[in-house]
Amino acid sequence: MHGNPNGRIDMTTRPLDRLLERSSLRRFADRDIEPGVLDQVLEAGVRSASAGNLQPWSAILVRDPDTRNRLASMCFQEFMADAPLHLLFCLDMHRNEVLARAGAAPYTAPSSFRHFWVSFQDVVIAAQSMCTAADMLGLGSVYIGTIMESPSEVREMFSLPSGVFPVVLVCMGYPREGTERKAARKFSRRFMIHEEKYSEPDPDDLWADYQEREAHRLTPIGEKTELVFRTACANCVDEAFAEACMARARGQGGFNEAQRRFGLHYRADGMPCGNLDFVDAMREAGMRFFERWEREDLVMSMQESGEEAD
Ligand SMILES: Cc1cc2nc3c(=O)[nH]c(=O)nc-3n(C[C@H](O)[C@H](O)[C@H](O)COP(=O)(O)O)c2cc1C
C-alpha cells in the first residue's frame, strides 16, 4: 500500500509511472485522507486550466457516512460507501453570475452553448487534475457516472442553486490493504492517436486488437440475455439484424465483448431513452443553452429579480 501521511509525492517511484500504471480504485481502506494530503489534491484541481480562467465549476466534498451511503444506493454501487471521500463535481454558472452582478456586468452564461461547452470541459479537467494528484500521493479514485441518473435529487440533496448542475462524482481514498491494482487494457495507441489527419480504423485490425484487449472474452448465452440482446438489436434495426447478430453469437459460442457492451450492458436501445428528461433537468437548473436566446427573457428575469434593464 502506498501510505503517505506526509502528503509528499512518493519519489521512490517516478511520478510519471504513477500515471502510466494508474487504475480506478474500488476497494478503499478504512482511513481518512489527512488534511495536508487532501489540500494538495484540491489545490491541483483549483490550479487546472480553465477557458478564460472563468473556472465555472464547483466540487462538493462529502464525508458524512449517511450521505455517502445514500449516494451509493442512488448510484447502485455499494462499494462507494467505503470511500472516505466523495467529490461531487458540478458545472457552476452561478458563482460567475454573482460576480457579474457584483461588478454590474451583463451575464448570459447559462443561455450560451459556448459557455456550456467549455465549462463542461473545465469541470472534467479539474476532476482529472485531482485524480492525478491523488494517484501521485498514494491515494486512489474512481469516477461515478451514474450520478447523472438523478440530477434533480442530487441538486436538492446538496442545495445546488440555479446554474449549478452535477456532472460526475469521484470516490477517493487509500487503497485497502492487499488490493491488487491492475491497469485496464486499452485500445492500441495507433487507433487513438492519429498523425496529421484522421486515419480510418481497419475493421479487422481493430477487431483483433479489441479481442486481444478483452482476452477474447465470451459471455454465455442464456434465455434472458438472448431476449434482451434480441430486443436491443430489433429495436435499433430490425428482426433480421437481431437474427444475424444472434447467429454470430451462437457461432462463436457466446456474446463477444462488443455484443455484451452495446447489446446487454450499455443497451443501444436504452441509452438514448430519456434524452429529453436530461434536457428538462438542465432546464430546471436554469440552463437555457439548448434554446434560441431571446433578449426578452433576460429583461424579464432581471425584472423578476428586481433589477432595471436599460
Ligand atoms: C465518466 C466516467 C464515468 C464512470 N462511471 C463509473 C461508475 O459509475 N462506476 C464504476 O465503477 N466505474 C466508473 N468509471 C470508471 C471506468 O469504469 C474505468 O475508468 C474504466 O473501466 C477503465 O478502467 P481504469 O480507470 O482502471 O483504466 C467511470 C469512468 C468515467 C471516466
Same domain, 107 and 229: no
Same domain, 167 and 63: yes
- The atom of ligand 1 lying closest to the CA of 79 is 11
- The atom of ligand 1 lying closest to the CA of 186 is 27
288 in a domain, yes or no? no
Q: Is the CB of 184 under 6 A from ligand 1?
A: yes
Same domain, 249 and 143: no
Nearest CA to ligand 1 atom 18: 24
226 in a domain, yes or no? yes
160 in a domain, yes or no? yes
Q: Which of 27, 74, 144 to mutate to test the pocket of ligand 1 (most atoms within 8 A of CB)?
A: 144
Query: To which residue does cell 456550456 refer?
Result: 116
In whole angstroms, what is the distance from residue 210 CA to residue 185 CA?
Answer: 9
Rounded to 5°, the CA angle 39-45-47 comes to 100
Nearest CA to ligand 1 atom 7: 144
Nearest CA to ligand 1 atom 9: 144
- The atom of ligand 1 lying closest to the CA of 182 is 26
Q: Which domain holds residue 142?
A: 15-173
pLDDT at residue number 2: 44
Q: Is the CB of 59 under 6 A from ligand 1?
A: no
Contact between 225 and 235 under an 8 Å Cβ cutoff? The reply is no
Specify the number of domains making up the chain: 2
Nearest CA to ligand 1 atom 28: 143
Same domain, 151 and 19: yes
Q: Is the CB of 24 under 6 A from ligand 1?
A: yes
pLDDT at residue number 10: 61
Q: Of 140, 173, 206, which residue sits at a domain end?
A: 173
- Please give the mean pLDDT across all residues of the chain: 93
pLDDT at residue number 40: 98
Residues in the chain with pLDDT < 70? 1-12, 297-310
Same domain, 104 and 240: no
Same domain, 225 and 137: no
Rounded to 5°, the CA angle 42-47-49 comes to 130
At residue 114, what is the residue type?
R
Q: Is the CB of 157 under 6 A from ligand 1?
A: no
Same domain, 152 and 65: yes
Q: Is the CB of 145 under 6 A from ligand 1?
A: yes
Nearest CA to ligand 1 atom 1: 145
pLDDT at residue number 300: 66
Query: To which residue does cell 442553486 refer?
Result: 161
Give the CATH number, domain containing residue 86.
3.40.109.10
Q: Pick the closest to residue 164 from 116, 101, 114 (CA basis).
A: 116
pLDDT at residue number 1: 40
Same domain, 164 and 234: no
pLDDT at residue number 181: 87
Q: Which of 24, 141, 150, 185 to mutate to test the pocket of ligand 1 (most atoms within 8 A of CB)?
A: 24
96 in a domain, yes or no? yes
Same domain, 79 and 166: yes
Same domain, 140 and 32: yes
In whole angstroms, what is the distance from residue 143 CA to residue 166 CA?
Answer: 13
